Structure 1
Amino acid sequence: MTTERDDPIFVISVVARMVGVHAQTLRYYERAGLIEPSRSEGNRRYYSQGDLERLRRIKTLIDDMGVNLAGAEIALRLMDRVHELEQEVAQLRLDLQRLADRTPPALGDGRQT
């Protein structure tokens, strides 16, 4: 499922300015597998709002927290996994609520007197 957050709208020069890094740094992050911008038919990179948020997290990890590139990659993978698990938990809660809504209330507590 794609959202507006996933729409590729920013070119590399704009993203570099917004994040505060050189365009070459963005290309390096891409080669390192930290980011995967969309490509046009002409092979031009386009970044989404989600890419921009991820790049800001990378910059914070490296510049503000002193994490190296390998550490940033691990941290990002962990953040991605936490996000996936949060989505799974939210879906399970919805499923549980739907099930509870369909289940008739119990008659008594099941014990005989």
Structure 2
Amino acid sequence: MNENTPLFVISVAAELSNMHPQTLRQYDRMGLVSPTRTQGQSRRYTMQDVAKLREISRLSQEGVSLEGIRRVLELVTENQDLKERVRALETELANQVMNQPGRRVFAAGEQGVIKLNPGQRPQKGGSLVLWRRTK
């Protein structure tokens, strides 16, 4: 089991998120939180769904409209997806550069990734330098 395992029926999810079950049904219709469904079409909420419901409640109490909440949730999801994509690209780039003969040392900074010759230092103090010893 993890945070994406559908565990909770609507009454339990409503209690955990301090909301009325009818509110959860409305949010489902609006697409703010989309629980999984059983074969009998009963809603099953995950811990992640409950956390999202709590965030919706907090934003609503701060005066954010439902349309504003929808946009905030979209942006949060988009931001998480982009962060994951950046991490994957950084890993892929580092693996490719490290596996190229003669390009074992490079620096990554504001100018992007640059090759460093043996004994050469990056110009900016804030650069990240990676290297791998050759046998």
Report the TM-score when normalising by structure 1.
0.85
**Which of 14, 19, 22 pairs up with 1:21?**
19
Aligned-partner residue type, residue 35 of structure 1: V
Q: Deviations over 1:43-102 (max 9, x none)?
A: 111011221121111111111x21011110011111111011111111111111211221
Q: Deviations over 1:14-63 (max 9, x none)?
A: 11111100000000101111011011111111011221121111111111
Q: Provide the C-alpha distance between the structure 1 equivalents of 2:102 and 2:58, rounded to a whole number of angstroms.
A: 51
Larger radius of gyration: 2
Report the TM-score when normalising by structure 2.
0.72
**Which of 75, 78, 82 pairs up with 2:79?**
82
Provide closer, same or farther for how the CA distance between residues 99 and 51 of structure 1 changes in structure 2, counting only shifts above 3 A.
same
| Greater length-normalized contact order (CA 8 Å, ≥ 6 residues apart) | 1
Q: Provide the C-alpha distance between the structure 1 equivalents of 2:52 and 2:100, rounded to a whole number of angstroms.
A: 42
**Which of 64, 70, 73 pairs up with 1:73?**
70
Aligned-partner residue type, residue 87 of structure 1: E
1:33-44 to 2 correspondences below 5 Å:
33-44=31-42
Count of residues in Structure 1 that have an aligned counterpart in Structure 2: 106
Identity %: 35
Q: Provide the C-alpha distance between the structure 2 equivalents of 1:6 and 1:106, rounded to a whole number of angstroms.
A: 42
Q: Provide the C-alpha distance between the structure 2 equivalents of 1:49 and 1:58, rounded to a whole number of angstroms.
A: 14
Please tell me whether residue 47 in structure 1 is matched to residue 70 in structure 2. no
Please tell me whether residue 7 in structure 1 is matched to residue 8 in structure 2. no
| Aligned 8 A contact 2:97 2:103 in 1 | no
Greater helix content:
1
Structure 2: segments with no counterpart, 5+ residues: 105-115, 118-135
Q: CA RMSD in A?
A: 1.8
Structure 1: segments with no counterpart, 5+ residues: none
